[in-house]
Structure 1
Amino acid sequence: MKPTLKPLAEQVIVITGASSGIGLATACAAAEAGARVLLIAREDKDLRPIVAEIVASGGTADAFAADVGDAARLRAAAAHAVQRFGRIDTWINGAGVAIYAALRETPAEEHEQLFRTNYFGTVHGCLAAIPHLERGGALITIGSIAGDMPSPLMGAYAASKHAIKAYVEALRMELGEAGLPISVTLVKPSGIDTPIAQHAANHEPGEAQIPPPVYDPKLVAQAILHCATHVKREITVGGAGRAQALFAAHFPALFEVLAPKAAASFIDPARPQPRPDNLFASVRTGRIRSGEHHARRTSFYTTAAEYPGTTAVIGVGLAAGLGALIASRHRTRH
């Protein structure tokens, strides 16, 4: 059964990882569009000021404290959303953490905690959401272009995003086979100007950096909310990231040579890493951006992915116009 998705102004949207970065940007944009939003993060104290700001701006929002690694707490969050707003129309899995370290030097307890948040947080979120979406809705997960290629110094993070991709794709098949009208979408951001690197567990000598080029978080929020109202299998935010993934897929041997050299840009040796990290506990929340980049505010590739019909028409129109111009100049010359 094909999903029917409501306009944003008629939706109830639940977002995990909503206290900073992409999750926070999406929560604010959803509320501004008229959606009723439930923000989820580990600490209630981190969410209450955000909710108060959304409400003061005319939006409708509430908060629920839950560690996404705790399946029972996410089920309770889903129940709270239904009790507070009557239903759930879109669920967004946005919680995520990162580790910067060679895989051989990644502490086992950190590696396990990263998967508890990134991968099992997605699993728990999906399973909490599905019973409330069975009459129709959107289930959106924030993956990464790192799920399409390996990443030296961020190997554990990339592995978790590969796992998320495989889980989401299999889940989409199973829900489709069951005839459930749920749109299952994987959003794959390129490098995005959020505080994730500043929050990361970093075992390298220097400050962790977001792999360039870097895009504005609002582009991801816009793509996520587009997927809340349009049935999409997946979307990559940032053409540069898509190009990197394609290069890795088609030239794997060369990528294996170049990627470790490019990974040097993941660390700034002149600056210390902010402490503590947020792997096991919430830190320095309430910020959408890192404050360290001049992020790209547009991506023609992502716009084309969101509106393929429109951009195809534009492309044909431009090609026809260019052809007419060339023909006109050719006639003028003869």
Structure 2
Amino acid sequence: MTEKRLSGKIAVVTGASSGIGEATARALAARGAPVVLAARDEEKLAFLEREIRAAGGRALVVGTDVADRESVRGMVGRAVAEFGSVDVLVNNAGLGLSGRVAELRPDDLRYVFDVNLLGPLHCIQEALPHMPRGGRIVNVSSVVGKRAIPKVGGYCASKFALNALSDALRVEVAARGVTVTSVYPGTTRTSFRDNSRRTKSEKRGWRPKGVSPEKVAEKISGAAERGGRDVYVTPTDRLFVAATTLAPGLTDLVLRRFWAKD
């Protein structure tokens, strides 16, 4: 039986209608946190809300477009009105983008940054005034936010930018007793890729099998409980980042062989 280590801690999860966000909402609720379910698809959120309530948890559905500042403001306002504060913010909502850098459409890239970078920024700026000492901000990044790979350079750039935002914020809010954790999943078995924007019908090359969204959710829930700086989901994810940092030239050669082909 899961311990209620987050009992009474109000958690906001963006992108909660599917994949990692859905699994994270379940995991946080199982740990006793009342969960604000934020995403655009309110119908899917309603199913998840009923599931959490049936298991004895508390949940609030708020239709939210993180790229829209007013939508985020309304979501946080409803969360505070219902529960009184925001103790945990999980910035999970994200959008993929595939395409060679030379062929990326600027409008696609702008929208991906609106969701993947400005979305977390909106949520952080709206939630922080309502976050007490001991609050947790968990930003879901990616291992490709540490080392970009071919044909997803635009998406990688948005995650690099999110990492930079997290690093600065972590220092800025430390004196308030708020922690900022970056979580770096590798490949995850979700519908994320199917919902990504594509420049063309490019093949992405070899991909690892990936882990379940529940495994990522466990890591996010741990960060919500304990804080921390950087969290990797698997040892392989950590090894990938370490190897690409220590041997960037060799990484280029490997990527040219396995990923950069047409």
Q: So what's the TM-score if we normalise by structure 1?
A: 0.73
CA deviation after TM superposition for structure 1 residue 228, in Å: 0.9
Contact preservation (8 Å) 1:200, 1:208: no
Specify the code of the residue in structure 1 equivalent to 2:50.
A
Structure 2 gap segments, 5+ residues each: none
SS in 1 for 2:176: coil
Paired residue for 2:233, among 231, 234, 237? 237
Say whether the 8 Å CA contact 2:205–2:260 is kept in structure 1: no
- Give the ranges of 4+ consecutive aligned residues of structure 1 lying more than 4 Å apart after TM superposition: 206-210
Contact 1:149 1:248 in 2 (8 A): yes
Pairwise CA distance, 1:133: 1.1
> Which 10-residue stretch deviates more, 198-207 or 77-86?
198-207
Aligned with 2:196 (options 197, 200, 206): 200
* Residue 219 of structure 2 is aligned to residue 223 of structure 1: yes
- The one-letter amino acid paired with 1:81 is A
Pick aligned residue for 1:73 from 68, 71, 81: 71
Asked if 2 retains the 8 angstrom alpha-carbon contact of 1:26 and 1:218, the reply is: yes
Instruction: Tell me: CA distance 1:260–1:203, structure 2 relative to 1, closer, same or farther (3 Å).
Output: farther
Q: 1:210 to 1:60 in 2, by over 3 A?
A: farther
In structure 1, the partner of 2:12 is 14
Spell out, residue by residue over 1:251-298, the C-alpha distance to the aligned partner (whole angstroms, 9 max, x if none).
111111211333269x9xxxxxxxxxxxxxxxxxxxxxxxxxxxxxxx
Query: What corresponds to 1:158 in structure 2?
Result: 156
Q: 2:210 aligned to 201, 214, 237, which one? A: 214
Q: How many residues align?
A: 259
CA distance in 2, matches of 1:125, 1:185: 15
| Among 93, 96, 112, the residue aligned to 2:94 | 96
Counterpart residue type for residue 132 of structure 1: H
Q: Which residue of 2 aligns with 1:123?
A: 121
Identity %: 32
CA contact (8 A) 1:192 1:210 kept: no
Q: Secondary structure at the match of 2:162?
A: helix
In the aligned structure 2, how far is the partner of 1:41 from the partner of 1:161? 19
Tell me the alpha carbon deviations over residues 9-30 of structure 1, each in whole angstroms, 9 at most, x when there is no partner: 2211100011111111000111
CA spacing shift, 1:72–1:210, aligned 2, 3 Å? farther
Report the RMSD for the aligned CA atoms in angstroms. 2.0
Contact 1:198 1:208 in 2 (8 A): no
- Report if aligned partners of 1:193, 1:210 keep a CA contact under 8 Å in 2: no
Structure 1 portions without partners, runs of 5+: 1-5, 268-334
Rg bigger for which structure? 1
Following the alignment from structure 1 to structure 2, what is the Cα–Cα distance between the partners of residues 95 and 210?
A: 25
CA apart distance, 1:206? 6.3
